[in-house]
């Protein structure tokens, strides 16, 4: 019997197999994505996010594009004032810095001056040794006629000539309070007995000190008249090492 074409009333044939396209799609969904697919997906997502951000940035207007001219002028004025305040503050800080530096410099100068003054007072009071240019005076007294008064005259002449530090026989320091007294075996200088030859170390202007001893009618001629002799040696360096006797004031008190 010859085949006839199917009609609309004929039943639609069924089959247990799915079309080929559906099978492929189902397989792709059920299959675990590979590494390449994951990377491709991430790149696509990043590109999409960048496109969105760029679109928003282009589409958003500038913050001040729609501002009024008066508002812009007010904003600029406020920025200028803020800048001026900052510059004023900076100048104040620089001035403060300079003041602190000046105070530090003045303090250091005051400390240096105080140290120098303390050192000078220590030398004059005989509490420290001293070194400097000066003279060395040698007085020989073979007849034993040079006593306390003669030595005191020599010291006074040296002081008037600007002596800054004096010692006798490397043992007796001579200061403002030093006393001289005759002893049977010499002269007592603040309790230290010295005898001929008297070696007097003196720090000061060497030529001026030398003239103070040797000028006509001075102490050199007085010593020679007593049978002694005087020799003066000018030196670039004279060392005064002995220290004065320490005295505590019995009556004087600080005025402060």
**Domains of the chain: total:** 2
What are the φ/ψ torsions at residue 177 (nearest 5 degrees)? -90, 5
User: What pLDDT, on the 0 to 100 scale, is given for residue 61?
Assistant: 46
Please report where in the chains the tokens 């760029």 appear, as a residue: 54
Question: Does 81 share its domain with 177?
Answer: no
Q: State which residues form the domain around 154.
A: 129-240
Q: Note whether residue 57 is domain-resident.
A: no
pLDDT tens profile 149-184: 999 999 999 999 999 999 999 999 999 889 999 999
Q: What is the pTM for the complete model shown? A: 0.59
Q: Per the domain annotation, does 15 fall within a domain? A: no
Has residue 165 been placed in a domain?
yes
pLDDT at 48: 57
In this structure, what CATH number is given to the domain that contains residue 187? Answer: 3.30.70.1880
Do 236 and 145 fall into the same domain?
yes
- Does the pLDDT of residue 27 top 70, yes or no? no
pLDDT digits (tens, 9 = 90+) for 88-132: 888 888 888 877 877 778 788 778 888 888 888 889 889 999 999
**3, 14, 18, 19, 124 from 11: Cα distances, Å:** 16, 9, 19, 19, 141
Kindly state whether residue 98 falls inside one of the protein's structural domains: yes
Q: Is 201 inside a domain boundary?
A: yes
pLDDT at 209: 95
How far is the CA of 40 from the CAs of 31, 49, 52, 90, 124, in angstroms? Answer: 16, 14, 19, 56, 97
Q: Are residues 164 and 89 in the same domain?
A: no
| Confidence band for 57, pLDDT divided at 50, 70 and 90 | very low
- 105 and 147 share one domain: no
Q: Does residue 184 fall inside a structural domain?
A: yes
């Amino acid at each position: 019997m010859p085949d006839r074409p199917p009609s609309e009333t004929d039943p639609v044939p069924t089959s247990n197999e799915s079309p080929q396209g559906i099978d492929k799609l189902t397989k792709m969904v059920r299959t675990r994505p590979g590494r390449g697919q994951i990377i491709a997906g991430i790149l696509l997502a990043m590109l999409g996010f960048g496109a969105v951000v760029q679109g928003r940035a282009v589409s958003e207007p500038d913050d001040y594009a729609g501002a009024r001219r008066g508002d812009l002028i007010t904003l600029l004025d406020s920025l200028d004032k803020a800048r001026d305040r900052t510059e004023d503050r900076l100048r104040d800080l620089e001035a403060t810095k300079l003041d602190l530096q000046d105070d530090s410099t003045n303090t250091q100068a005051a400390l240096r001056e105080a140290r120098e003054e303390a050192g000078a007072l220590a030398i004059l009071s005989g509490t420290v040794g001293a070194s400097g240019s000066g003279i060395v005076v040698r007085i020989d007294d073979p007849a034993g006629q040079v006593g306390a008064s003669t030595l005191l005259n020599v010291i006074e002449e040296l002081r008037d000539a600007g002596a800054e530090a004096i010692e006798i026989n490397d043992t007796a320091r001579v200061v403002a309070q030093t006393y001289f007294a005759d002893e049977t075996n010499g002269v007592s200088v603040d309790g230290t007995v010295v005898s001929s030859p008297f070696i007097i170390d003196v720090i000061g202007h060497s030529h001026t000190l030398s003239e103070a001893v040797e000028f006509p009618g001075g102490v050199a001629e007085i010593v020679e008249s007593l049978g002694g002799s005087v020799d003066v040696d000018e030196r670039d360096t004279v060392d005064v090492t002995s220290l004065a006797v320490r005295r505590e004031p019995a009556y004087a008190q600080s005025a402060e």
